[in-house]
């Protein structure tokens, strides 16, 4: 209760009315105290003046410091103070308030400041410290904003220790839907459970994922490759953590290092444009990579991607190999303009089956398990058993060419020149739904669970829910045809013939940012959690009439990039030292930089995303 307002800078002539009920008792008590103290020696004025001039610490005034007290007070004064303390303890709460009120009104500003320094710390209560640890952690689990957690970690050592608890960060990972997937994040595969992963930390995992998401939103590190190509058209693209593989219409396959964006080698052998390629392998326990390519020379070639060695040349198609998919490192399926499909044993280099049935060019195909779905210019799609080469279903309904297909083992989805999308049952072959909305060719499809994203020549992107067969998002993305499309559970990247590349929030259908500078034509885009590769054609700045194919490699794992750069600088320094002092041994240090503590690093980390 406020007894006196802050505007009262001098004591009032009479006490507030709050104490009217106790005036008689208080007066009696004060009179008694006055009469008892009249016989005692009063405090000397010079002591009071000294106390005003010299700030006194809390420890000096403690009864545990008798030397200082004896220097300031004599014995009678100390007895008087002890008697006043005893009398104060015997007062009622209201009487205590009145006495404190009178004493405070007798203090000057310096004494009030000293009094505040005594009172303020005693009024502070660390509520988390007072609670059981389990309850404190439960309270923190309600905080969704990582910036708030980062600031809370700076409050005290105890709060910092609380926020190092793995359960808090695991809960935050779940809230932000940072799923553990096969990834290089936190230095290794995330397929095993946490208990089987050495040094796995949900806190570090969340920190890196959060920083990667911020880099996606604001832009990461971009390496531009301008001298790896001339004016050739890019037809196909795939990359992993080690290699970027690009197929071109000039008979060449270019291989680049993903980390440095430098060209590793050129695979020569095709006698026509390379129109399709795919590679498998490169996992932690299976480092060998097998690449399969096909094109206008009608041949299918099998390569050892790690060495660049050609393993097999597979003959059989009588026209351009337009599409291909690998089931694994032993089996691949190719589709051709000769209206046939072929199943190959790429390990031995032999033909397994010829799939006959389409009446026109096979434009697209997709594999799931032992089944392959194909789409053709004959307006039909077909579902095949790769083990036997038998056609399981003929999927009819379109009345124009099929340009795109997606297959997940349960549903076959096709996009056609007739501007519709059809969903078929892989079990019965029946058409489950016809999705309408596009006004032109549907040339881009991607299916993930019950989410389907389509891109058309009308420049629109549409997100479909295949449980209700409803369009949940419609985005007018480009001024011309959508040429490239990819999405994951958070974002979507699209490119069009208008030369624009755009990054979207797939959940809200909202444009996040323009992904890159405008180009004349965008050939291909592909991304994973931490990187994106874009191939486009741009006009040369010094000669606008000339076009050049350019590759951009976007890296969003900036923390890992900084570690790699530090390691490279350290390695260069060691080499220089060894050259200067070949007989001396250069001391080594840890190969990986350690992360700073949460109390210091988290604030910097969290402030990278203000959107």
Q: What is the pLDDT of residue 190?
A: 45
The span from the CA of 189 to the CA of 588, in Å, is 27
Residue 105 has pLDDT above 50, yes or no: yes
Q: What percent of the chain clears pLDDT 90, i.e. is strictly above it? A: 55
The pTM score is: 0.73
SS3 386: coil
Neighbour order of strands in the sheet with 482-487: 482-487, 491-496, 501-505, 510-514
Q: What is the pLDDT of residue 196?
A: 56
Look at the block and give the residue holding tokens 């390519």. Answer: 293
Beta strands in 96-193 (DSSP E): none
Q: What is the pLDDT of residues 73-103, one digit of tens each?
A: 888 888 888 888 899 899 999 999 998 999 9
User: Torsion-angle region of residue 509: left (phi > 0), alpha (psi -120 to 50) or beta?
Assistant: left
Mean pLDDT of 321-348: 97
The span from the CA of 106 to the CA of 595, in Å, is 55
Residue 36 has pLDDT above 50, yes or no: no
* pLDDT-based confidence at residue 396 (cuts at 50, 70, 90): very high
Query: For residues 462 and 205, which has the higher predicted lDDT (pLDDT)?
Result: 462
Look at the block and give the residue holding tokens 């390695």. Answer: 571
Residue 29 has pLDDT above 60, yes or no: no
* pLDDT-based confidence at residue 181 (cuts at 50, 70, 90): low
| Helical (H) or strand (E) element with 503 | strand 501-505
Q: What is the pLDDT of residues 120-129, one digit of tens each?
A: 888 888 888 8
Q: What is the pLDDT of residue 76?
A: 84
Average pLDDT, the chain: 83
Q: What is the pLDDT of residue 561?
A: 67
Neighbour tally for 169: CB within 10 Å? 22
Report CA-CA distances (Å) from 602 to 103, 163, 278, 599. 47, 11, 40, 6
Query: For residues 202 and 274, which has the higher predicted lDDT (pLDDT)?
Result: 274
Q: What is the pLDDT of residue 126?
A: 84
Mean pLDDT of 299-313: 97
SS3 content of the chain, % helix, strand, coil (to 5): 25, 35, 40
Residue 130 has pLDDT above 60, yes or no: yes
The span from the CA of 366 to the CA of 452, in Å, is 15
Mean pLDDT of 338-361: 97
Minimum mean pLDDT range among 50-54, 129-133, 563-567, 591-595: 591-595
Look at the block and give the residue holding tokens 């000293």. Answer: 114
Beta strands in 208-330 (DSSP E): 221-225, 234-239, 243-248, 253-257, 263-267, 274-283, 286-295, 300-304, 309-314, 321-326
Per-residue DSSP letter, 597: P
Q: What is the pLDDT of residue 566?
A: 74
Query: For residues 602 and 205, which has the higher predicted lDDT (pLDDT)?
Result: 205
Query: For residues 122 and 280, which has the higher predicted lDDT (pLDDT)?
Result: 280
Q: What is the pLDDT of residue 564?
A: 67
In sequence order, what are the beta bridge partners of 534? 525, 552
Mean pLDDT of 112-116: 90
Residue 43 has pLDDT above 60, yes or no: no
Q: What is the pLDDT of residue 53?
A: 44
């Amino acid at each position: 209760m406020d007894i006196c307002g802050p505007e009262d800078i001098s004591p009032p002539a009479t006490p507030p009315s709050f104490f009217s009920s106790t005036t008689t008792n208080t007066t009696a008590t004060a009179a008694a105290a006055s009469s008892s103290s009249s016989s005692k020696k009063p405090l000397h004025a010079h002591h009071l003046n000294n106390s005003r001039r010299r700030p006194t610490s809390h420890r000096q005034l403690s009864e545990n410091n008798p030397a200082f007290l004896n220097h300031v007070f004599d014995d009678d004064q100390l007895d008087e103070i002890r008697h006043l303390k005893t009398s104060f303890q015997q007062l009622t709460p209201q009487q205590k308030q009145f006495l404190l009120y009178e004493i405070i009104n007798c203090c000057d500003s310096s004494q009030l400041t000293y009094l505040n320094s005594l009172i303020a710390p005693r009024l502070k209560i660390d509520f988390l410290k007072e609670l059981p640890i389990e309850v404190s952690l439960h309270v923190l689990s309600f905080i969704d904003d990582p910036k708030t957690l980062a600031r809370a970690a700076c409050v005290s050592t105890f709060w910092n220790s609380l926020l190092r608890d793995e359960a808090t960060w695991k809960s935050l990972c779940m809230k932000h839907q940072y799923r553990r997937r096969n990834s290089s994040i936190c230095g290794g595969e995330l397929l095993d459970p946490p208990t089987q992963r050495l040094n796995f930390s949900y806190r570090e995992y969340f920190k890196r994922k959060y920083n990667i998401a911020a880099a996606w939103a604001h832009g990461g590190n971009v390496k531009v490759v301008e001298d790896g190509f001339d004016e050739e058209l890019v037809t196909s693209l795939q990359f992993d953590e080690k290699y970027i593989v690009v197929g071109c219409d000039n008979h060449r396959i270019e291989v680049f290092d993903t980390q440095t964006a430098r060209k590793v080698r050129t695979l020569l052998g095709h006698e026509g444009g390379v129109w399709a390629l795919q590679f498998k392998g490169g996992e932690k326990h299976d480092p060998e990579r097998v690449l399969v390519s096909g094109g206008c020379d009608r041949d299918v070639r099998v390569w050892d991607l790690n060495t660049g060695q050609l393993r097999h040349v597979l003959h059989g198609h009588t026209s351009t190999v337009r599409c291909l998919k690998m089931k694994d490192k032993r089996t691949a399926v190719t589709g051709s303009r000769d209206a046939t499909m072929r199943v190959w044993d790429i390990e031995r280099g032999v033909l397994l089956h010829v799939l006959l049935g389409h009446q026109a060019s096979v434009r697209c195909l997709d594999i799931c398990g032992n089944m392959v779905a194909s789409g053709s210019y004959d307006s039909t799609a077909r579902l095949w058993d790769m083990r036997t080469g038998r056609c399981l279903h003929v999927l009819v309904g379109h009345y124009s060419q099929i340009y795109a297909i997606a297959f997940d083992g349960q549903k076959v989805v096709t996009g056609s020149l007739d501007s519709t999308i059809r969903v078929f049952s892989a079990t019965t072959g029946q058409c489950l739904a016809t999705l309408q909305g596009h006004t032109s060719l549907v040339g881009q499809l991607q299916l993930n669970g019950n989410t389907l994203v389509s891109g058309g020549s009308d420049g629109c992107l549409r997100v479909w829910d295949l449980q209700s067969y409803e369009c949940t998002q419609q985005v007018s993305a480009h001024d011309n045809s959508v040429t490239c499309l990819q999405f994951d559970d958070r974002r979507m990247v699209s490119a069009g013939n208008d030369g624009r590349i755009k990054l979207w929030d797939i959940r809200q259908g909202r444009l996040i940012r323009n992904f890159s500078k405008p180009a004349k034509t965008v050939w291909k885009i592909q991304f994973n959690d931490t990187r994106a590769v874009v191939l486009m054609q741009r006009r040369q700045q010094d000669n606008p009439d000339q076009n050049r194919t350019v590759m951009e490699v976007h890296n969003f794992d900036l923390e890992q990039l900084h570690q790699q750069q530090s390691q490279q600088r350290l390695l260069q320094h060691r080499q220089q030292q060894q050259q200067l002092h070949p007989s001396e041994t250069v001391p080594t240090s840890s190969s990986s930089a350690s992360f700073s503590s949460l109390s210091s690093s988290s604030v910097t980390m969290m402030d990278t995303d203000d959107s």
